[in-house]
Amino acid sequence: MFETLPALSPDPILGLSAAFKLDNNPKKIDLGVGVYKDEHGNTPILKAVSQAQAVLQERESSKVYITPQGHQGYIDGMLNLLLGEGSSVLKDKRVAAVQAPGGCGALRILAELLVRVNKDTVVWVSDPTWANHMPLLGDAGLTLKTYPYFDKDSASIKFDEMMDCLKGVKKGDVVLLHGCCHNPTGADLTNEQWDALAALAVKNGFLPFVDVAYQGFGDGLEEDAYGLRLLAESVDELVVAASCSKNFGLYRERVGLAAILTKDEKTASIAQSQIQSVARGIYSMPPSYGGALVDIILADEALRNVWQTEVAEMRDRMITLRKLLVDNLVNQGVDKDFSFVNQQKGMFSFLCIAPEQVQHLRQEHSVYFVDSSRVNIAGISLANVEVLAKAIADTLKA
């Protein structure tokens, strides 16, 4: 029966990784896969995580299933991290949440829940958005539409066009927003723009759906939560997907959170039963290990301080790499102004060059990133930034 299945095109990023491994150029550069890397190209285990692993090794006495919603300590810690210790939403017990297998798992759980609410739900996503948003949400049966977000010609957010589009979004529709460090562009809304967006959500009654995958990688753990916290305090209902892959470095542990903010405690209780039911129908019980580590880190003041320092170090390194890339491009005498790279935030930037130029970089200089021109800033290093700048300069002159 399986012979009836059509062959699918390979995933573009996984295909890039395979091509990179086969490339024999000793100066090859991988800016494709979205994982944080240190100066040596490794994705390190954070010191806070290593210490938490030792604590868990001593503490854990059983491998029996954990509760269906996950580690409650993890859920509480993450909600405080996302919404703030003094959140009125948390005080009023208006939140339903489950530990999810990664940010992807959180997105899919929430998508399935939205289908239960209304199978004809429309979700508006930014143009562009993270490519995996499409299958995670669309394959659940949701209808996807796009709103304007980024202009490659000016390397800036089309905020006026975005707002004009969202003014026409009807009550009951869902608007997916990147909480910070927009993937793939790195272009984030200002606080003033978040203010205007929150006011529009209140006025028009659409449901904000905030994806938070990079908290702490933009301006800081508190600063990066501005938009999410504003919406949480402004609207009656909100959907949140969060990931611990980047800021805790727990990529392979698949640690995420799916949360629903409701208008009152009674509705939250109903939503809790439904979100757990969705999770039960997908994977039955949640994984334990990664969530337990995050719980330990967030609950221990000393470990939390170590983790916060490490997040700041990763953020500062990426800010430095942005500046180094821009400075090296200036030194190479390129005509194009790349100063916008310094304004973009987090792991990713759009270089705003053409697909054929991306291909030229790959074929002639062994520099690998996707055709959209999204680059992983963390893949740059002190050792390769000059080589990268020379390659880009050569490509723009070709």
Is pLDDT of 342 > 90?
yes
pLDDT of residue 11: 76
Is pLDDT of 8 > 90?
no
pLDDT of residue 10: 75
Domain locations in the chain as residue ranges = 11-45+314-397, 65-299
pLDDT of residue 192: 98
Q: Where are the beta strands (DSSP E) in the chain?
A: 29-30, 95-101, 122-127, 143-148, 150-151, 156-157, 174-178, 207-212, 238-243, 255-261, 348-350, 367-368, 374-376
pLDDT band at 13 (very low <50, low <70, confident <90, very high): confident
Give the architecture-level CATH label for domain 65-299.
3-Layer(aba) Sandwich (3.40)
pLDDT band at 217 (very low <50, low <70, confident <90, very high): very high
pLDDT band at 333 (very low <50, low <70, confident <90, very high): very high
Residue of 84, 132, 70 whose CA lies nearest to 261: 84
What is the total residue count of the chain?
398
pLDDT of residue 210: 98
Would you call 95 helix, strand, or coil by DSSP?
A: strand
Is pLDDT of 33 > 90?
no
pLDDT of residue 312: 98
Three-state secondary structure of 118-184: CCCCEEEEEECCCCCHHHHHHCCCCEEEEEECEECCCCEECHHHHHHHHCCCCCCCEEEEECCCCCC
pLDDT of residue 17: 84
- Looking at residues 218-245, what average pLDDT do you find? 98
% pLDDT > 90, the chain: 94
Q: Is the dihedral of CA 186, 187, 190, 191 positive or negative?
A: negative
Q: 52 and 303 in contact (C-beta within 8 Å)?
A: yes
Residue 148 structure tokens: 């304007």
Which residues are designated catalytic? 130, 211, 246
pLDDT of residue 18: 83
The alpha carbon of 241 is separated from its chain's Cα centroid by a whole number of angstroms, namely: 9
Nearest-10 Cα torsion for 259, 263, 265, 268: -30
Query: What pairs with residue 240 in β-bridges?
Result: 210, 259
- Which strand (E) or helix (H) includes residue 396? helix 385-397
- Which strand (E) or helix (H) includes residue 60? none
pLDDT band at 183 (very low <50, low <70, confident <90, very high): very high
Is pLDDT of 133 > 80?
yes
CA distance 179 to 346: 12
Q: Does domain 11-45+314-397 have CATH number 3.90.1150.10?
A: yes
pLDDT of residue 52: 98
pLDDT band at 19 (very low <50, low <70, confident <90, very high): confident
Report the b/e string of 133-160 with b at 16+ CB within 10 A. Answer: beebbeebebeeeebbbbeeeebebbbe
- Poorest-pLDDT segment among 146-150, 305-309, 332-336: 332-336
Is pLDDT of 398 > 80?
no
pLDDT of residue 327: 97
The amino acid that residue 259 corresponds to is A
pLDDT digits (tens, 9 = 90+) for 37-59: 999 999 999 999 999 999 999 99
